[in-house]
């Protein structure tokens, strides 16, 4: 039976795994963001390494394909001097006949110190954290629709970098929110950090009304959703949403919710435009916006490495 | 064997009897309640002082896992679990492997169960062959083999033409069709649609999956006058529809599971796979409606929805985990807990797991119809003797069932079964 205590915190309330942003105290988030700031300079040095994880083995366990996220975790771990082992595991653990927990048991026997896990099912990293040895740390690199906490944190780092203060912002998250683990992590992070207005923007098939319980304002009208926003986070639209009767076509989605210069003009003049990538040009975002002066999509990637270094070094410094 | 149960508080919800009395049992029947003849020489005396002597419990939703899922449960283990839980009659579902769609399979199951000499087993036959929702089973043959009704288990029939004909055919012979109301398309999800599922990124089953199916069933019942038992309702809106349909006089009955009586989706916590259940746990409002509906009789019976699940099938991410929980050994305690919390007289609580489910089964019980779930002089001696105030901690490892997964692990519950008598023999005792 899983315990009712938040499994990512130890008895002292310190972070031992990063599974979700939900339930993390504001101070923990700030601490990670501050630590990331110090690592940013490491990444600009000629020798881009610190010895914080020297001798530790970090296993990248990607049950779902992802080159970008896996690479950023690999870079982050390497810059912390860890040994990184990448495991390409078939889409589903059960498809190969080996259960998820058997895979974990086997890798634990190889003396792993940290698992970076991406899995297609919501909650899979919780199962792993619950069943691995006490000294092993787990980082959720995206589970189903549930959470992508390092993306959430790097988004917060980006916002903090450009806007400094969270407590006077309006943030609009636009697109396929119901299927987005990034949106969920962003929402938890934004509300925890005290952002007074978080809006979820999109059609009713992609933006369920239940989201209001997470502390967001639901807007089905794009203009209403981005008017006066300081930050616009565009989400990637997956092709399968069309076959699932969620949307008629990418073209119609772009017409209603795609971010163009014209729509961006409704936001504050100094609004920043973010996207977790990879972007679909002409589907959720117009090229002129993606490459425009308000876009901070590439800085997000840079910050992502520092934030992942901060997460890994923070959790490995705390004991279960 | 002659048994004398002395000095127990005899509660029979069907007759309203609630008094301290002795019960004499011989040749599988209750010889007398109250005044026991001095001529009666018992070979076994049971001192029931301080205990409640009730009719054996009747559970309308049990998976014994045989045939085909023996790794999850064997007849031996699950029947032992039944009597350990005070259950003396149980209805088992047809979703075995192979599916209970042929008389031979039903006869074999009944034969195996009878040889174990524990609880009475009443199988539901499959409504359609292989539960595929296309071809009707041989209902008359299956009834002769011992089926008490026909069910699709968890497999919805999406084709309303087949549904209509199945009900027409069943109605021809007066068979009861047992349906779990869930739309086959909207029902594909792993948690109840709502704030929690949205927050946790779990695919949600909306309440309309239940109400749309109910409305369809009610229209078909109006047209065919078929008798339908609705299984394991989950939503407040669904219960309200049942309330109205009953007021209209439709020939329907319904049940809910112990899980839905006590839990909500919030209990999923951090993706606890023990809470992966079908139908999914809904919200507080729904649970409140279930509790009220069971108390006011809108919901006829309380069931364990006993579903033993293999360890490996729960050690998976929430959505991939197999739904189901063990329940036979918790039915009485969870009923008592609900009754206590709702301030109900104990007889009323017990009626939901004794006389009321027997009413659902009706004539299909055959010779036992007049006395199962009741304490009747001359009737079958099925009894559950329990200590109402003894609290016990649910320890999965200590359960007799092969299925160890329960959402109630660690709970302290009232009511400990001390002795179960089936057809006049002691099938379980734990004094």
* Residue-level pLDDT, tens digit, chain B, 431 residues: 899 999 999 999 999 999 999 999 999 999 999 989 999 999 999 999 999 999 999 999 999 998 998 888 889 999 999 999 999 999 999 999 999 999 999 999 999 999 998 999 999 999 999 999 999 999 999 999 999 999 999 999 999 999 999 999 999 999 999 999 999 999 999 999 999 999 999 999 999 999 999 999 999 999 999 999 999 999 999 999 999 999 999 999 999 999 999 999 999 999 999 999 999 999 999 999 999 999 999 999 999 999 999 999 999 999 999 999 999 999 999 999 999 999 999 999 999 999 999 999 999 998 888 899 999 999 999 999 999 999 999 999 999 999 999 999 999 999 999 999 999 999 999 99
pLDDT band of A2, cuts 50, 70, 90: very low
Inter-chain CB proximity A99 and B272 less than 8 Å: no
Q: Is A245 on the interface with B (CB under 8 A)?
A: no
The Cα of A181 is separated from the nearest Cα of chain B by a number of Å equal to 7
Q: What is the pLDDT of residue B10?
A: 98
Nearest Cα to B327, choosing from B81, B105, B35, B15? B81
Residue of B194, B198, B316 lying closest to A100 (CB–CB): B316
B17-26 vs B3-12, strand pairing mode: antiparallel
The Cα of A39 is separated from the nearest Cα of chain B by a number of Å equal to 31
Pick among A1, A97, A214 to test the B interface (most B CBs inside 10 A): A1
Residue of A143, A144, A208 lying closest to B198 (CB–CB): A208
Inter-chain CB proximity B270 and A123 less than 8 Å: yes
The Cα of A121 is separated from the nearest Cα of chain B by a number of Å equal to 6
Residue of B269, B312, B317 lying closest to A121 (CB–CB): B317
Question: Are the C-beta atoms of residues B302 and B353 closer than 8 Å to each other?
Answer: yes
Pick among A93, A127, A191 to test the B interface (most B CBs inside 10 A): A127
Asked if the model's pLDDT at residue A1 lies above 50, the reply is: no
The Cα of A34 is separated from the nearest Cα of chain B by a number of Å equal to 27
The Cα of B43 is separated from the nearest Cα of chain A by a number of Å equal to 45
Give the number of residues written for chain B.
Answer: 431
Interface of A with B in 261-280 (CB under 8 A): none
pLDDT band of A99, cuts 50, 70, 90: confident
Q: Which two tokens stand for residue B124?
A: 């539901």
What is the layout of strands, in order, in the sheet containing A114-119? Answer: A83-88, A57-62, A114-119, A137-143
- The mean pLDDT of A63-78, rounded to a whole number, is 91
Inter-chain CB proximity B202 and A122 less than 8 Å: yes
The Cα of A288 is separated from the nearest Cα of chain B by a number of Å equal to 32
The Cα of B193 is separated from the nearest Cα of chain A by a number of Å equal to 9
End-to-end CA distance of chain A: 18
Inter-chain CB proximity A119 and B274 less than 8 Å: no
Q: Is B198 on the interface with A (CB under 8 A)?
A: yes
Inter-chain CB proximity A210 and B197 less than 8 Å: yes
- From A145, which residue of chain B is nearest by alpha-carbon distance? B201
**Residue B15 and residue A182: Cα distance in Å, rounded?**
60
Inter-chain CB proximity B317 and A124 less than 8 Å: yes
Asked if the model's pLDDT at residue A35 lies above 80, the reply is: yes
Pick among A19, A92, A123 to test the B interface (most B CBs inside 10 A): A123
pLDDT tens, residue by residue, A258-301: 999 999 999 999 999 999 999 999 999 999 999 999 999 999 99
Interface of A with B in 15-34 (CB under 8 A): 22
Phi, psi dihedrals of residue B240, rounded to the nearest 5°: -65, -40
Catalytic residue, chosen from B22, B255, B305, B382, is B305
Total CB pairs under 8 A between chain A and B: 81
**Residue B178 and residue B92: Cα distance in Å, rounded?**
12
Residues 6+ apart with CB under 8 A from B354: B13, B14, B54, B55, B56, B57, B58, B373, B374
Q: Which two tokens stand for residue B300?
A: 């006829």
Nearest Cα to A53, choosing from A317, A308, A307, A306? A317
Please give the radius of gyration of chain B, using alpha carbons only, rounded to the nearest integer.
Answer: 21
According to DSSP, the residues that pair with B383 across neighbouring strands are: B55, B421
| SS3 of B360-372 | HHHHHHHHHCCCC
Residue of A99, A146, A213 lying closest to B201 (CB–CB): A146
Nearest Cα to A313, choosing from A120, A13, A47, A81? A81
Percent of chain A topping pLDDT 70: 96
Q: What is the pLDDT of residue A44?
A: 84
Residue of B193, B270, B315 lying closest to A101 (CB–CB): B315
Inter-chain CB proximity B201 and A147 less than 8 Å: yes
Q: Is B271 on the interface with A (CB under 8 A)?
A: yes
Q: Which two tokens stand for residue B308?
A: 């033993």
Asked if the model's pLDDT at residue A91 lies above 70, the reply is: no
Inter-chain CB proximity A1 and B410 less than 8 Å: yes
DSSP state of A249: -
Q: Is A117 on the interface with B (CB under 8 A)?
A: no
Inter-chain CB proximity B198 and A1 less than 8 Å: no
What is the distance of C-alpha A44 from the center of its chain? Answer: 23
Active site residue B305: yes
The DSSP secondary structure of A31-96, one letter per residue, reads HHHHHHHHHHHHTTSSS----TTTT-EEEEEESS--SHHHHHHHHHHHHTT-EEEEEE--S-TGGG
Angle, CA B96 vertex, CA B94 and CA B97 arms, to 5°: 135
- The mean pLDDT of A208-233, rounded to a whole number, is 97
Q: Is A213 on the interface with B (CB under 8 A)?
A: yes
Contacts of A22 in chain B (CB under 8 A): 199
Pick among B192, B320, B325 to test the A interface (most A CBs inside 10 A): B320
Phi, psi dihedrals of residue A88, rounded to the nearest 5°: -90, 105
Q: Is B269 on the interface with A (CB under 8 A)?
A: yes
Residues 6+ apart with CB under 8 A from A175: A201, A202, A206, A234, A235, A236, A237, A257, A284
Q: What is the pLDDT of residue A92?
A: 47
pTM of the shown model: 0.94
Pick among B190, B191, B201 to test the A interface (most A CBs inside 10 A): B201
Interface of B with A in 336-395 (CB under 8 A): none
Q: Is A118 on the interface with B (CB under 8 A)?
A: no
- From B266, which residue of chain A is nearest by alpha-carbon distance? A4
What is the ipTM metric for this complex?
A: 0.93
The Cα of A97 is separated from the nearest Cα of chain B by a number of Å equal to 12
């Amino acid at each position: 039976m899983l315990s009712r205590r938040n499994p990512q915190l130890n008895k002292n309330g310190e972070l031992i795994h990063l599974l979700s942003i939900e339930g993390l105290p504001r101070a923990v988030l700030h601490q990670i963001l501050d630590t990331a700031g110090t690592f940013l300079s490491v990444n600009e040095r000629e020798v881009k390494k610190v010895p914080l994880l020297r001798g530790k083995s970090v296993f990248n366990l990607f049950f779902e394909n992802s080159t970008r996220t896996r690479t950023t975790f690999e870079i982050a771990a390497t810059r912390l001097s860890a040994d990184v082992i990448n495991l390409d595991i078939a889409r589903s653990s059960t498809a190969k006949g080996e259960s998820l927990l058997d895979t974990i048991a086997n890798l634990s026997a190889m003396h792993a110190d940290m698992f970076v896990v991406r899995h297609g099912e919501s909650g899979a990293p919780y199962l792993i954290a619950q069943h691995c040895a006490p000294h092993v740390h787990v980082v959720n690199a995206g589970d189903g629709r549930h959470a992508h906490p390092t993306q959430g944190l790097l988004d917060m780092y980006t916002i903090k970098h450009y806007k400094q203060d969270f407590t006077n912002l309006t943030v609009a998250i636009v697109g396929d929110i119901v299927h987005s683990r990034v949106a969920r992590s962003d929402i938890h992070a934004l509300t925890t950090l005290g952002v007074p207005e978080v809006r979820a923007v999109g059609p009713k098939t992609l933006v369920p009304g239940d989201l209001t319980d997470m502390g967001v304002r639901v807007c089905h009208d794009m203009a209403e959703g981005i008017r006066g926003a300081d930050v616009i986070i565009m989400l990637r639209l997956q092709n399968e949403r069309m076959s699932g009767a969620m949307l008629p076509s990418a073209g119609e989605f772009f017409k209603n919710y795609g971010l163009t210069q014209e729509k961006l003009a409704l936001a504050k003049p100094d609004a920043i435009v973010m996207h977790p990538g990879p972007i679909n040009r002409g589907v959720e975002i117009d090229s002129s916006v993606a490459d425009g002066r308000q876009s901070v999509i590439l800085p997000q990637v840079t910050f992502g490495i520092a934030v992942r270094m901060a997460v890994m070094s923070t959790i490995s410094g705390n004991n279960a | 064997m002659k048994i004398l149960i002395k000095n127990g508080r005899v509660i029979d919800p069907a007759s309203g009897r609630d008094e301290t009395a002795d019960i004499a049992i011989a040749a599988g029947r209750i010889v007398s309640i109250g005044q026991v003849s001095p001529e009666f020489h018992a070979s076994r005396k049971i001192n029931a002082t301080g205990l409640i002597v009730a009719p054996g419990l009747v559970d309308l939703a049990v998976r014994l896992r045989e045939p085909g899922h023996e790794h999850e449960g064997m007849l031996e283990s699950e029947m032992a679990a039944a009597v350990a839980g005070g259950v003396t009659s149980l209805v088992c579902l047809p979703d075995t492997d192979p599916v209970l769609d042929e008389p031979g399979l039903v006869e074999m199951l009944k034969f195996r169960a009878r040889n174990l000499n524990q609880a009475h087993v009443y199988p539901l036959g499959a409504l359609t062959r292989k539960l595929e929702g296309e071809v009707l089973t041989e209902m008359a043959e299956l009834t002769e083999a011992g089926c008490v009704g026909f069910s699709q288990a968890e497999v919805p029939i999406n084709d309303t033409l087949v549904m209509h004909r199945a009900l027409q055919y069943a109605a021809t012979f007066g068979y009861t069709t047992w349906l779990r109301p869930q739309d086959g398309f909207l029902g594909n999800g792993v948690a109840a649609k709502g704030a929690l599922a949205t927050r946790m990124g779990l695919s949600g089953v909306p309440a309309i999956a239940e109400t749309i199916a109910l409305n369809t069933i009610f229209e078909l019942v109006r047209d065919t006058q078929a008798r339908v038992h609705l299984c394991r309702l989950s939503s407040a809106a669904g219960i309200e529809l049942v309330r109205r349909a009953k007021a209209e006089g439709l020939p329907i009955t319904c049940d809910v599971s112990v899980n839905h009586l006590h839990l909500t989706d919030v209990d999923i916590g951090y993706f606890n796979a023990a809470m992966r259940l079908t139908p999914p746990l809904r919200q507080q409002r729904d649970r409140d409606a279930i509790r009220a509906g069971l108390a006011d009789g809108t919901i006829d019976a309380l069931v364990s929805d006993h579903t033993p699940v293999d360890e490996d099938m729960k050690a998976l991410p929430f959505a991939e985990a197999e739904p189901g929980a063990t329940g036979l050994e918790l039915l009485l305690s969870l009923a008592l807990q609900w009754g206590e919390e709702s301030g109900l007289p104990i007889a009323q609580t017990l009626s939901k797991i004794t006389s009321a489910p027997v009413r659902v089964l009706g004539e299909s019980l055959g010779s036992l119809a007049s006395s199962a779930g009741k304490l009747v002089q001359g009737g079958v001696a099925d009894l559950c003797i329990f200590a109402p105030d003894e609290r016990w901690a649910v320890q999965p490892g200590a359960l007799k069932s092969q299925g160890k997964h329960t959402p109630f692990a660690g709970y302290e519950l009232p009511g400990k079964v001390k002795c179960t008598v089936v057809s006049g023999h002691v099938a379980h005792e734990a004094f």
